[in-house]
Structure 1
Amino acid sequence: MSRPASTPRHPVVTGDLYAEVRTFYARQMRRVDSLDIEGFADTFVEDGEVVHAGGRRQRGRAEMIAGMRAALPRYRDIAVRHWFDHLLIEPDPADPDVIRTSYYTLVTQTDRSGKVCFQPTFTVADVLVRRDGRLLTLSRVIEQDSPVEPAVGSEERSAA
């Protein structure tokens, strides 16, 4: 017996697009982790925007570069790694050059002795755009994770 075709609730993500987005983030984060500030900023459109947890905004590559340079002393004698997971990719059905992504991130810092410190976890929402065949970040919103209140009535369901 055949089953009727169903329409996906979300746009379908091809394997090629998934691999392209994952590779984009791997390259972007390797740049920031290696303190290649200009290279990292170059993964954003010229007037791109980052909204950091807490609400601080940086607009444009020049402002991003200045902010990262000011933060460099915090990264003396440590190796920083950004770890992403649970990546959602949602192509814009109206514009094939726009991709919305969301993912969880964990940042680790390793000192010279090998001791690893974990930073708070975050949820990141990006808008990526394709310009001249290249993915770039148009906007990024970073929110620090915090506990979620259970839905009303969920205690009764979980106790059953």
Structure 2
Amino acid sequence: MTVELVDTAERTRESQKFAALYAEVQQFYAHQMQILDAHDSERWAGTFTEDAVFELPSLPEPVRARVGLARYVREGAARQRRAGNRLNHWVGMLDVQPQPDGSLRTRCSALVYVTPAGGSSKVLYVCVMEDTLVRTRGKWRTAHRRVTRDDLA
């Protein structure tokens, strides 16, 4: 009977620990997407590691490093302003898998909405986002992101 209580207590501690981690990762993505939607390119790039790799199906090669990531967001923001559109991102269906080295593998659905000036929002892309997150200087950061789109599968 004592062994069962210890096992139950240990499982409860592990569940609580994972629940806290899961909430932390959800908050990370909420913050990261809000920064992206605000076109704050430098802060958004700061949510990635210095040597991050960002793979998008619409680009011929991955975007690399924070400098490249910030440039990518600035250029995208300029295109959206010229078109008179606003993009917003929604992330859900999050799966978090802790790795033995302390990193996290995550997979989630990501929806990109476009709202034309004076118009109604519409889903522009349905994506799957697969990340490797690492903790650096006390914060989670994306080391690698691979995005796939349903319409390009």
Q: Shorter chain as normaliser: what TM range? A: 0.7 to 0.9
- Out of 103, 118, 123, the residue aligned to residue 123 of structure 2 is 118
Aligned with 2:147: secondary structure? strand
Paired residues in the alignment total 139
Matched, 1:28 2:32: yes
Tell me the distance in 1 between the aligned counterparts of 2:74 and 2:39. 9
Query: What do you get for the CA RMSD once the two structures are aligned?
Result: 2.4
Task: For residues 44-85 of structure 1, give each alpha carbon's deviation from its aligned partner in whole angstroms, at most 9, with x where no partner exists.
Answer: 001111011145311101111222222223211332211111
Tell me the distance in 1 between the aligned counterparts of 2:124 and 2:150. 11
Aligned with 2:125: secondary structure? coil
Q: Is the 8 A contact 2:41 2:71 kept in 1?
A: no
The Cα of 1:86 is off from its aligned counterpart by 0.9
Tell me which residue corresponds to 2:110: 105
CA spacing shift, 1:72–1:146, aligned 2, 3 Å: closer
Is the helix fraction higher in 1 or 2?
2
Q: Is the 8 A contact 2:39 2:74 kept in 1?
A: no
**Unpaired segments of 5 or more residues in structure 2?**
8-13
Tell me which residue corresponds to 1:129: 134
Task: For residues 100-137 of structure 1, give each alpha carbon's deviation from its aligned partner in whole angstroms, at most 9, with x where no partner exists.
Answer: 00001111011231421211211110000011221000
Q: Which amino acid aligns with 2:132?
A: V
| Structure 1 stretch displaced more, 28-37 or 113-122 | 113-122
Tell me the distance in 2 between the aligned counterparts of 1:69 and 1:49. 17
Q: Provide the TM-score with structure 2 as the length reference.
A: 0.81
- Out of 74, 85, 88, the residue aligned to residue 92 of structure 2 is 85
Percent of residue pairs bearing the same amino acid type: 30
Tell me which residue corresponds to 1:158: none
Tell me the distance in 1 between the aligned counterparts of 2:152 and 2:122. 21
Q: Which amino acid aligns with 1:32?
A: L
Tell me which residue corresponds to 1:152: none
Aligned with 1:121: secondary structure? strand
Structure number with greater Rg is 1
Q: Provide the TM-score with structure 1 as the length reference.
A: 0.78
CA spacing shift, 1:78–1:147, aligned 2, 3 Å: closer
**Unpaired segments of 5 or more residues in structure 1?**
6-10, 149-160
